[in-house]
Amino acid sequence: MERQPLLIDGNKARAVICMLKTNVHDHSVFRVKLDELRALVESLGIEVVGEVVQSRYRPFAKYHIGSGKVHELRRKKRRLDANLFIFYNILRSSQKLNLMRATDTEVIDRYELTLEIFDQMASDNLSKLQIQAARLEKQAPFLKLQASVNYRHDRPFFRAGGEYAFHGQLRELSRGQSRINEEIEKLMEEKSQRIWKRKNELGYPIVCIAGFYNAGKTSLFNILTGDTKLVSARPFTTLSSKYQRRFIDYETTVLFIDTIGFMLDLDPRLIQSFKLNLLDIRSSDVVVLLLDITDPLLTLQLKIIEGIRLLKEIGVPRSRIIIAFNKLDKMPDADKEIEEQLSLDVYGIPWICVSAEKKINTQGFLELVAERVKYLRENPPDAVELSSFSRAETAVNRVLAEYPDLDAGLYLPPFNSLVRTVLSQNTSSPNTATAYNRLADQIGISPYNIDEASDEAVIDAIRTSGMYNQKTKTLKAVSKIIIEKYGGDIGQIFELPFNEARDRLMEISGIGPKTADVSLLFSVNSHVVPVDRHIERIAKRLELVEQKAGYEAIRAAWQDGATPDRFRELHLALIKFGREVCTARNPKHDDCILRNICPYPEKIAEDNSK
């Protein structure tokens, strides 16, 4: 399908591409990156009419580039009739707004350009929603800043409740983000369960064809599997993963996956936006890093380094990577020289040259895949070599198998769930139950009852939970806000999409992320893994996160390793495991079901030997 030219204010887009290179000694790499930007821009039907490059060891705060270059952009706009400036660098919201005001011209960066390409290529609902969510995440800070500047000298109108008009617009934007994320989570749950079933029930090794866009991933996928998926010269044809089984030999049948392509300097937020593709790559037994052998040597070197780095960030160690160079038919003798030219031996990764179009060496490729699958099966990585994702996934499966049927399936009304969560802080389950039951019997679990009761009465009722003075203050403060702001009915918050409900709860003084998550989990079964001290301790000992990681990073690590339908069971199982085995003091290493994937015992042994 041919791309129609992008229009700016009814006119065909004419762009000046811009870059600030911070390595002042770079005289070649920047050109490779700028050429890639030009190719991406032109794939959208945008005419590139000029370029501006500045060298400086760090960006300027106001415009990212210097004010002199901003003047140059204005001159190029007049002389070249440009109506769009596209930056290779990722711009802050303030820099984008300053550039737009200074040049009176539309400004976008590489992140927004890539999203526009994704949007043109998206065909399935999940991809479209993920693109929309990524675009809103990028736009929200800019729109807030733009609104604050536009309304800087404005004042709230009579009966506006002290609010500016744009506050309502921003709230609607936030609600829109929450609704989209909620839809994504629903689709993600279904698809992640399919991935889990493929991996754990079918038992086929999974081979993911990753690599850079336009390297021929879909062409290779079609040749290997006999499929007929769309192949296009345009970048990022594949946004949603494709799956096909392939028999290789009597010992090896694998499941091939064709997934989204990489690009140089790929923004981490874009990777995170396509969670399902991320899960496909992470869950694979072998990942093929596919490259176009016709690229210049410098470009190939950059892509190899960048590809290995990206895969490492995603959670794929080098032992699971195969490098494949496609389009050998266009450079028939390249396979004889490329090892020395690119110093491939220094990477310690098996490699092969193929041609998907002419079916050259595809059988050798399959044999290499089978050989790698067998090697990894016979030589599983030890705890140090396992990626944090693989460690989390393994831990989730083992802990749930060890502690099944912990969830009785009981759900509390919203306010009751909130109260019980507050009472559970820094105490045991029996103490929490006793305090909750005494509060229900002596005062009653409702915002009005708790607000009207004396501090002494509440303290007496919840004394067994510990920290009763602080908990009393929290319960009474929360009750008062719920009465004043929500008419005593907090249930309306719990009916909102998870992210919006969570934000609303955390606006209430005394309710943090853990309290909000636990309340939502045990009232409306929201898909979340709340993190308590036991779950945090296990994550850090397994090195799923850094030792200084905060609540959100730990929550994300556990949620990445499980499917949403198992979040509630996982939360309960991890707490039990932390109380019984992975205790704060004297953990039971010999009885631990995670002993062979946990780096913690060796670290303790090393520390004790010093």
pLDDT value of position 7 = 55
Query: Mean pLDDT score of the chain, rounded to an integer?
Result: 85
- Stretch 184-200: mean pLDDT: 70
- Stretch 20-48: mean pLDDT: 90
Does the CA dihedral 290-17-131-512 come out positive or negative? positive
Q: Which two tokens stand for residue 561?
A: 């390793």
What are the CB-based long-range contacts (under 8 Å, 24+) for 599-608? 599/383, 599/384, 599/541, 599/542, 599/543, 600/541, 600/542, 600/543, 602/383
Beta bridge partners of 257: 208, 243
Does the pLDDT of residue 65 top 90, yes or no? yes
**DSSP codes joined into one string, 362-429:** HHHHHHHHHHHHHHHHHS---TTTS-HHHHHHHHHHHHHHHS-S--------HHHHHHHHHHTTTS-H
Q: Pick from 515, 442, 450, 456: which is nearest to 476 by CA?
A: 450
Q: Which of 227-231, 296-300, 367-371, 394-398 is predicted with the least confidence, judged by mean pLDDT? A: 227-231
% of the chain exceeding 90 in pLDDT: 45
Q: Which of 112-126, 425-439, 575-589 is predicted with the least confidence, judged by mean pLDDT? A: 112-126
Q: How confident is the model at residue 232 (pLDDT cuts 50, 70, 90)?
A: low
Sheet holding 252-258, edge to edge: 242-249, 252-258, 206-211, 286-292, 321-326, 351-353
**Contact of 224 with 246, CB cutoff 8 Å:** yes
**DSSP codes joined into one string, 24-51:** TT-SSHHHHHHHHHHHHHHHTTPEEEEE
Q: Which of 69-78, 275-284, 516-525 is predicted with the least confidence, judged by mean pLDDT? A: 275-284
Does the pLDDT of residue 134 top 50, yes or no? yes
pLDDT value of position 59 = 92
Per residue in 78-104, pLDDT tens? 999 999 999 999 999 999 999 999 999
Q: How confident is the model at residue 550 (pLDDT cuts 50, 70, 90)?
A: very high
Please report, in angstroms and rounded to a whole number, the separation of the first and last CA atoms in the chain.
Answer: 66
Beta bridge partners of 48: 15
Q: In Å, what is the CA distance from 445 to each residue of 148, 442, 458?
A: 42, 9, 11
- Stretch 24-29: mean pLDDT: 87
189 CB burial (10 A radius; 0-12, 13-18, 19+): middle
Q: Which amino acid is at 156?
A: P
313 vs 273, residue with greater confidence: 313
Q: Which of 65-79, 225-239, 351-365, 527-541 is predicted with the least confidence, judged by mean pLDDT? A: 225-239
Q: What angle do CA 474, 477, 480 make, to 5 degrees?
A: 145
Cα–Cα distance for residue pair 417/521, rounded to 1 Å? 9
pLDDT value of position 109 = 92
